[in-house]
Amino acid sequence: MSSLRFRAASVVGALVLSGFAACSTGEVDLPASSPPSGDAGHMIGDAALPDDVDTEGPDGSDAGDAGDAGNAELPACTVDWCDTPLPIPDGGTLSLMDVWVPSKDEAWAVSQEGLVLRWSGTSWSVVWDAETPLYGVTGDPEGNIWAVGAEGAIFRGPAGAGWTPIPSGVTTDLVGICEASRDAEHPRNVAVVTENAVLRWNGDTDVDGMPVWTRSTFGELEKLYSISCSGSDVWVSGTSADFVQPGGRLYRSSDDDAGWEAQLASGKDGNLQIDFLQYETLSSIWAHDRKNIWTRGQIGIVYGLPGAGDGQLIWARERSQMASLATLSKRPTGIWGSAANDVWIVSSRGRVHHWDGTRVSITVTAKSWDVLESNLHAVSGSSASNVWVVGDNVALHRNVQDGGQD
């Protein structure tokens, strides 16, 4: 049975570009058959392991490469996603670690191989080689693209060109970057996460015009994986090896001059009162606001939704396994949403989960109805209809026939 795979650059050339122009403009090539159950996805409970996913078409036959019969070399769209060609070297790999999407006709991605890529609305191209692994990317209202990576590397490129290294003052790997809301005291509010610290820039510069970073450090037993900016808040997630209270860690800071407040995630699983962070490793986080928080753990997806009281959260967990963090590189999972009822969660084993405000389901990433054979590292978008998922040798664009409107 075939799964969605990328070909080398020699195959992805002229053959693929013509076939995928339709995916980016909304003229999609849907699979010949519909997804099982007719709801464009499996419930999360069906996706705990690759063997649990139905690999047959709705009629009981092998779904195979439905939709591209006669041209097996051409990747094609599923009902949920379009596979876009990447500039992968012959026999090489391109592990896309993060993606930032300013509009429906533009996206930026960075790779573990040190490359910065840009989506022009029709194709991906490499715009710069940092010559060091890159793990996070974002943009700002001034038109700068920011990239962070290995050994404290920070780069800034006006309009994605003329890249300049920015001193960070640390030598640990930087795995995520975002910018929270600005105010009079903080004309800039950039936040970067590393292993056990968060760097913040409020606009202050030194004599050479470079940003001056403040550093918040966390316990030696704690490891941070992800960062999310929402309004004036900055959230980070990770885990702790503390013997007394091990497990997931979730912190929020609304001001870089203030401390970090540990967030609790306790609630009921059925009739059992439990701590959803215990024994967890929270590898990604996305905050819509203080009442809608999403994290990805090894045991499952942990989320807090509005409760009855002021500021109260009701926490829950949807169980869904992922590969061990020890087997993966930086950024093993990613979360992004356009709204509190439209949240996307990606992780290893090629899964893309979606929360629609009522339930979590797994979307179709491979034309055989099997899971995608790729570790997925990040998801982002500019609207509900313009969503990108990136990972090892893969960049998926949400398949929406109207082309998406920002």
pLDDT band at 109 (very low <50, low <70, confident <90, very high): very high
Mean pLDDT of 4-33: 35
Burial grade of 30 (CB within 10 A; 0-12, 13-18, 19 or more): middle
pLDDT band at 111 (very low <50, low <70, confident <90, very high): very high
406 within domain boundaries: no
Strands (E), 164-312: 164-165, 174-179, 190-194, 197-201, 214-217, 222-230, 233-240, 247-253, 261-262, 266-269, 272-275, 284-289, 292-296, 300-306
Choose between 146 and 52: higher pLDDT: 146
pLDDT band at 342 (very low <50, low <70, confident <90, very high): very high
Residue with tokens 């490891």: 223
2 within domain boundaries: no
Give 223's Cβ-side CA count (13 Å radius): 15
Residues in the chain: 406
Distance CA 330, CA 259 (A): 26
Q: How many percent of the chain have pLDDT more than 90? A: 58
On whether the CB atoms of residues 23 and 99 are closer than 8 A, the answer is no
314 within domain boundaries: yes
Q: Does the pTM of the predicted model rise above 0.85?
A: no
363 within domain boundaries: yes
pLDDT at site 2: 35
Using the predicted structure, report yes or no on whether residue 110 has a pLDDT greater than 60: yes
Choose between 311 and 16: higher pLDDT: 311
Distance CA 56, CA 59 (A): 8
Distance CA 377, CA 360 (A): 19
Which of 391, 305, 319, 406 has its CA nearest to residue 99? 391
On whether the CB atoms of residues 78 and 57 are closer than 8 A, the answer is no
- Total domains in the chain come to 1
322 within domain boundaries: yes
| pLDDT, the chain, mean | 80
- The pLDDT tens digits for 242-296 are 988 899 999 999 776 668 999 989 888 778 888 989 889 999 999 999 999 999 9
User: 320: domain CATH number?
Assistant: 2.130.10.10
202 within domain boundaries: yes
CA 86 to chain centre: 18
Q: Which domain holds residue 180?
A: 9-398
pLDDT at site 358: 92
pLDDT band at 125 (very low <50, low <70, confident <90, very high): very high
- The pLDDT tens digits for 161-209 are 999 999 999 999 999 999 999 988 889 999 999 998 999 999 999 999 9
404 within domain boundaries: no
55 within domain boundaries: yes
Choose between 120 and 9: higher pLDDT: 120
Using the predicted structure, report yes or no on whether residue 61 has a pLDDT greater than 70: no
Sign of CA dihedral 190, 142, 405, 17: negative
pLDDT at site 6: 34
CB-based contacts of 149: which residues, under 8 Å, 6+ apart?
Answer: 110, 114, 130, 132, 133, 134, 135, 136, 155, 173, 174
